[in-house]
């Protein structure tokens, strides 16, 4: 009986060792698979942005502006509005007033006729006038180049600040709008459950040589190719790299 118990304990021990090693091997395999996928994703991301760069070497915002102040005002006006509608308004506004002092002198009621065709123009007129007065009083009529100072201005949130920092000052920021959110999740370039998560993942995963221009490429791709309802996969230059499962051909 003594030997029988001994062998029974030994068998049970061996069984647990096998189970333990099996779990460790599973974990090791998962780690190796994750590493392999990361390498593949990094390769795909680089190829995607390299393709964007070849197609459009110098991407630009479609908002019309000639200096950081004009850009700031245009971006404030563009909230829940199209770039086309904003450009129509600023083409009339900027020849008359394109400095903080000149727009502030119009005051809210004087500004409204120029931007009346833009959605939420009443609120935007108030924000623009407050912003102009703040720039005059606190920033010597210059657009600040820090996130904190920009977000302290009326009508300027994180996305608007990111646009200005990137487009006016060449900083590697990501202004995630609906287009960038959609493209990042569909392609798996930088998936995320919310705007901030996508922004952080883009900053983490976009290859450094493409960081400054990535914001513009992704917006343009979402606006003209990777459409919300029916993406134009047959015309897409990165369809062979995209991991979207419901491609349309």
Give the model's pLDDT for residue 40.
47
CB distance 111 to 92 below 8 Å: no
Q: What is the 3-state secondary structure (H, E, C) of 165-228?
A: HHHCCCCCCCCCCHHHHHHHHHHCCCCCCCHHHHHHHHHHHCCHHHHHHHHHHHHHHHHHCCCC
Interatomic CA distance for residues 223 and 180, integer angstroms? 9
Q: Kindly name the residue from 177, 213, 230, 245 that is annotated as catalytic.
A: 177
Q: Which residues of the chain have pLDDT under 50?
A: 1, 7, 11, 32-33, 36-37, 39-40
* Residue range 68-167 in CATH 1.10.10.10: no
- The sign of the CA dihedral 147, 162, 156, 63 is positive
CA separation for the pair 6, 11 (Å, rounded):
9
Distances, alpha carbon 223 to alpha carbons 47, 79, 202, 226, in Å: 20, 16, 18, 7
Q: Which token pair is 113?
A: 């006729």
Question: What stretch of H or E contains 96?
Answer: none
* Domains in the chain: boundaries: 1-55+172-249, 68-167
> 159 an active-site residue?
yes
Catalytic residue among 88, 112, 124, 159: 159
Residue 41 has what pLDDT?
83
pLDDT score of 36: 46
To the question of pTM greater than 0.75 for the whole model, the response is yes
Tell me the C-alpha distance between 33 and 25, whole Å.
12
Cβ proximity of 172 and 212 under 8 Å: yes
pLDDT, tens digit, for every residue of 195-245?
999 999 999 999 999 999 999 999 999 999 999 999 999 999 999 999 998
Distance CA 109, CA 95 (A): 18
Tokens 């939420």 appear where? 120
Q: Are 222 and 180 in contact (CB under 8 A)?
A: yes
Identify the CATH class of 1-55+172-249: mainly alpha
Which is nearest to 77 in space by CA: 88, 99, 66? 88
Catalytic status, residue 213: no
Average model confidence (pLDDT) for the chain? Answer: 89
Please check whether residue 65 is in contact with residue 106, taking contact to mean a CB–CB distance below 8 angstroms: no
């Amino acid at each position: 009986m003594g030997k029988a118990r001994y062998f029974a304990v030994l068998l049970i021990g061996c069984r647990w060792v096998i189970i333990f090693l099996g779990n460790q091997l599973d974990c090791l395999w998962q780690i190796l698979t994750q590493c392999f996928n990361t390498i593949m994703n990094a390769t795909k991301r680089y190829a995607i942005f390299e393709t964007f760069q070849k197609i459009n070497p110098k991407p630009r915002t479609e908002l019309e502006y000639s200096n950081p102040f004009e850009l700031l005002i245009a971006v404030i006006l563009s909230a829940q509005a199209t770039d086309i509608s904003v450009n129509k308004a600023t083409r009339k506004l900027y020849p008359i007033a394109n400095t903080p002092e000149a727009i502030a002198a119009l005051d809210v009621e004087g500004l409204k006729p120029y931007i009346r065709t833009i959605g939420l123009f009443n609120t935007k007129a108030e924000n623009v006038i407050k912003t102009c007065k703040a720039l005059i009083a606190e920033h010597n009529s210059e657009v600040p180049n820090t996130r904190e100072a920009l977000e302290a201005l009326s009508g300027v949130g994180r996305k608007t600040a990111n646009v200005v920092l990137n487009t006016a000052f060449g900083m590697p920021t990501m202004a995630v709008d609906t287009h960038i959110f959609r493209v990042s999740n569909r392609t798996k370039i930088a998936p995320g459950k919310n705007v901030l998560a996508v922004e952080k993942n883009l900053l983490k995963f976009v290859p450094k040589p493409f960081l400054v221009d990535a914001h513009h490429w992704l917006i343009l791709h979402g606006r003209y190719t990777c459409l919300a309802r029916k993406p134009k996969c047959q015309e897409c230059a990165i369809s062979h790299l995209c991991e979207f499962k419901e491609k349309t051909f």
